[in-house]
Amino acid sequence: MTATLLTFYLFSSVILISSLMVISSKNPVHSVLYLILTFFNAAGLFVILHAEFLAMILIIVYVGAVAVLFLFVVMMLDFNLSREKDNLLQYMPFGLFIGIVFICELIIVLINTNLDLANIQILANPFSNFSEMTNTQALGSVLYTDYILYFQLSGIILLVAMIGSIVLTLRERTGVRRQIIVNQLDRDASSTELKEVASGEGIDI
Amino acid sequence: MSVVTLIFDNIFIILTILMWSIVVFIPILIGVILAVYGDRKIWAAVQKRKGPNVVGPFGLFQVPADGLKYIFKEIIIPDGSDKVLFIFAPILTFGLAIGAWSVIPIQMGAALSNINVGILYIFAISSLGVYGILIAGWSSNSKYPFFGALRSAAQMVSYEVSIGFVIVTVLMCVGSLNLTDIVLAQKDIWFFIPLFPMFIVFFISALAETNRPPFDLPEAESELVAGYQTEYSAMPFVLFFFGEYANILLMCAMTTILFLGGWLPPFDIAPFNMIPGFVWFLLKLLFVFYMFAMVKAFVPRYRYDQLMRLGWKVFLPVSLISVVLTSSVLFFFNLAPNLI
């Protein structure tokens, strides 16, 4: 138990420090890297909760794919490192507003769910036969039965987002010579033409 | 209770973890040395050369000698680079390449940690590998490393998608994310026979994922000097090199586990099942590595748009269709593994 406690303090302190560094570091690339560190340690917290499937998915999806694209974009930005005036206080009112909204939402949720702290174990392990199946199976057995509608809805939302972003960025450029593999492979000796070129004169094609 | 006493109470756990880390590290170190040697020998043989044959018997000490030479060289850090990240990138690549090996079972029950989500763990760790390259390219503050890093990021993200779907098809036939279960599910038939197209897709995607030729665009020497490694010298370069080969071996091990039946013998009859499992595992791993080396020797490098076309327009639809096809077959022929 104490080892778990130790790792919990390690992960959560790294999360706190690195998420502070995300908003306070001058260099945007460093910010993204601190964000990745935060994701990574959050996955560590999931592992402590025995939710190893969620931990791995968090790393694969957020760290392995989303944050790579973040880093990809931020790396190519032409940012100015010597902006001295840009201090944290400038964004304080807006940040404070967002923070207060989040805290209010958390409080509302906590009041409405009627959290029974004595039975916290039931909340953590909602399956009676949890010892018999892995948490991947447990997740799948409710996700594809009780929550199938929400699952499909979120899929459709993602599909719409994907199609939307493709539509926004797709543009047909004229004057671009594309490689058409089929045409290339279809060529044989009959489509070529041999021409005699006189020495020193060249030829127009 | 203070943190110090906590650490002190668990000193034995920490020491055990350290000891096991060394137990994992030493075989990988030897494996990588032999892999580099084998790679060079095979490559040379294809081109009718002799390859390393001077240092030690059969040139076996060439690779350790090269390694020692690099270790004793001076580490040059470019003036305009982001110095902390510049040093951090090779360490990250190296650490991730070693870390993934902790879940690979080389024999029944012979994995350092037999976790429930083993295959996802390996997938996650290998998807993190791109950061070593991205950070190296950016922190070098030089154009060639930067181009190399950008190419590499796009390439690895693209091919990860098809690797993910290939893993999904295998997992549907197994019904578990545990690596030992995946191997045991192939007792009757190795998965490369029923899932042969997926085996091919996985093999080619593994080449792209490890930046091996013909997909070694991130370090294409004719265009980008040495890609993301351009500014690296001495020890950091060795770490990159080591991490790269450890990753290649990891991909070979993953191919073995997912498609070639891991430590299982080809036929479960007398002369074959007398041989211990790890020998079969290593033989299969060597076979896959031989194919990796042969591809390097005789396939010309892809152009960048060809690479992207192959990833997104060929492998992604093929693997998506195969997910649907495999699940339909499993469902309608009642072959799906029974869960719960």
Every domain of chain A and the residues it spans: 1-79, 126-170
Are the Cβ atoms of B116 and A9 closer than 8 angstroms?
A: no
Quote the pLDDT of residue A102.
92
Taking the C-alpha atoms of residue B20 and residue A182, their distance in angstroms, rounded to an integer, is 54
Mean pLDDT of A62-83: 77
**The Cα angle at residue B150 between residues B146 and B151, in degrees rounded to 5:** 115
Q: Which of A36-40, A122-126, B333-337 has the highest mean pLDDT?
A: A36-40
Distance CA B249, CA B254 (A): 9
- Is 80 exceeded by the pLDDT of residue B86? yes
Q: Once rounded to an integer, what is the mean pLDDT over residues B128-136?
A: 86
Which one of A68, A77, A132, A179 makes the best mutation probe of the B interface by having the most chain B beta carbons within 10 Å?
Answer: A68
Q: Distance, in angstroms, between B317 CA and closest chain A CA?
A: 16
For B17, the 3-state DSSP assignment is helix
A110-124, A140-154, B38-52, B271-285: segment of lowest average pLDDT: A110-124
Closest approach of chain A CAs to the CA of B143, in angstroms?
A: 12
Give me the mean pLDDT over the B205-224 stretch: 80
* pLDDT score of B99 more than 50: yes
CA B248, B253, B256, B257 torsion: positive or negative?
negative
Whether the predicted pLDDT of B218 surpasses 50: yes
Mean pLDDT of B37-45: 90
**With an 8 Å Cβ cutoff, are B134 and A6 in contact?**
no
Residue A125 identity (one-letter amino acid): N
Stretch B102-127: mean pLDDT: 82
Q: Which residue of B has its CA nearest to A129?
A: B340
Tell me, yes or no, if B305 comes closer than 8 A to chain A by beta carbon.
yes
Q: What's the gap in Å between the CA of B128 and the closest CA on chain A?
A: 6
* Chain B residues within 8 A of A46 when measuring between CB atoms: none
Residue A126 has pLDDT above 70, yes or no: no
Give residue B340's pLDDT band: very low, low, confident or very high (50, 70, 90).
very low
B1 interaction partners in chain A (CB closer than 8 Å): 2
Chain B positions in Cβ-Cβ contact with residue A33 (cut-off 8 Å)? 85, 135
Q: pLDDT tens-digit profile of B231-261?
A: 888 888 898 888 889 989 999 999 998 888 8
% of chain B residues with pLDDT over 70: 97
Size of chain B in residues: 340
Residue pair B59/B53 in contact (Cβ under 8 Å)? The answer is yes
Query: Rounded CA gap, B26 and B40, in Å?
Result: 22
Report which of residues B294 and A180 the model is more confident about: B294
**How many other CB atoms sit within 10 Å of the CB of residue B54?**
10
With 80 as the cut, is the pLDDT of residue B132 above it? yes
Q: Do A72 and B85 touch (CB under 8 A)?
A: no
Task: Give yes or no for residue B339 having a pLDDT over 70.
Answer: no
- Percent of chain A clearing pLDDT 90 (strictly above): 18
Each residue of B285-329: pLDDT tens digit? 999 999 988 888 888 888 888 888 888 888 999 999 999 998 888
Nearest-by-CA chain A residue for B147: A76
A84 pLDDT exceeds 60? Answer: no
Question: Above 80 in pLDDT, residue A88?
Answer: no
* B10 pLDDT above the threshold of 80: no
Query: Which among A29, A33, A134 has the least Cβ separation from residue B116?
Result: A134
Classified as helix, coil or strand, B35 is helix
Question: By percentage, how much of chain B surpasses pLDDT 90?
Answer: 8
- How far from B303 is each of A17, B278, B307, CA to CA, in Å? 43, 39, 6
Q: How many helices (H) and strands (E) does chain A have?
A: 9, 0
Integer Cα distance of B128 and A59 in angstroms = 8
Which tokens belong to A146? 């009780």
Contact (CB<8Å) A137/B177: no
Residue A134: pLDDT band with limits 50, 70, 90: confident
* Inter-chain Cβ pairs, chain A and chain B, closer than 8 A: 85
d(CA B198, CA B196): 5
| CB of B84 less than 8 A from some CB of A | no
Per the prediction, chain B carries an average pLDDT of 85
Report, at the CATH architecture level, how domain A1-79 is classified. Answer: Up-down Bundle (1.20)
Cβ neighbours for B301, distance < 8 A, ≥ 6 positions apart: B213, B214, B215, B216, B217, B220
Residue B41 tokens, joined:
């020998």
Compare CB distances from B138 to A36, A69, A75 and report the shortest one's residue.
A75
**Mean pLDDT (whole number) for B162-179:** 88
Interface membership of B85 toward A (CB under 8 Å): yes
